[in-house]
Amino acid sequence: MQSVIRIILQRLALGLLTLFVVSIVIFTAVNMLPGDFAQAILGQGATPEAVEAIRRDLGLDQPPITRYFQWLGSAVQGDLGNSFAQANFASFVGADSGVRTTVAQQIAPRFANTMFLAAVTACIAVPVSLLLGILAALFRNSVFDRATNVTTLTSISSPEFFLAYVLILFLAVLNPVLPSLSNIFEGMSFSERLEKTLLPALTLTLVVTAHMMRMTRAAIINLLASPYIEMARLKGISPMRVIVKHALPNALAPIINVIALNLAYLITGVVVVEVVFVYPGIGQLFVDSVKIRDIPVVQACCLIFAAAYILLNLLADILSILSNPRLRHPK
């Protein structure tokens, strides 16, 4: 038990170190974006004095190292700063600093929408992927196995925006079953929100199903040649029961890893899908903020993406350790 706790603590420490390094990369990359927010908001006719006043009010005149540690220190305390774009222009010149919108207030509803989209996708993709993977392993080299592999490989090889537009064409234009735009807003009922989220969720399902299905199939097939599986077959146990009861539990570690990676993608890789469907999630907010050089929002979105990806990878490692006795008791 102590070895398991030590391994988990090591993983957590490594995750924090990774997040710290990623925060440096995020800050450096965001501040290297072309353009200047002060110049953009004032226009081409702005005087140098006015631009400098706004930069000073926003703290953009300070050295990058100072701004980085101020941002990191505030982020550790849960303060992601104030949004540049959502602030009243009067606050830029010091007239009223109380009207600024914090980044957390702006991101919170968008992040909740993205999590809802990821949850709906996971509820569809994970059971379907496991079922297809088990059936493909059970009927290996059959027509079903080959058709499933071809279909999933085709979907994962296609760009996300292409799959999105194909689904819009068939499910919203030619056959108006689902709405083409996911205009989610506060106060909607669960059924309405689910209906408007279903089309982007189906797009993401087509993207992530192949990874999980093929890993499930490969992990189970790898175990079917094991002696204990042969013994179970000799006892006359049905093939489906052999896979579900004997092979699947021992194949959980790689399956958990690939599921966690794809769940991380559902949070961090939704930018294209959200833009196509105009879904009001954190990906759409990220793109809009990059366009207007809203640095605090861009940094916060990138940090959330990185933290979610690292956290789910850590969760996959921990679950793999707990599900595999060989990892719980390393030599």
Q: Is the pLDDT at 217 greater than 60, yes or no?
A: yes
pLDDT digits (tens, 9 = 90+) for 227-277: 888 888 888 888 888 877 877 777 777 788 888 888 888 887 788 888 889
Its pTM stands at 0.81
Give me the mean pLDDT over the 180-195 stretch: 85
User: Could you tell me the domains of the chain?
Assistant: 109-291 (1.10.3720.10)
CA angle 284, 300, 43 (to 5 degrees): 70
**DSSP string over 16-67:** HHHHHHHHHHHHHHHHTSSS-HHHHHH-TT--HHHHHHHHHHHTTTS-HHHH
Give the largest Cα separation in the chain, rounded. Answer: 86
Give me the mean pLDDT over the 211-224 stretch: 84
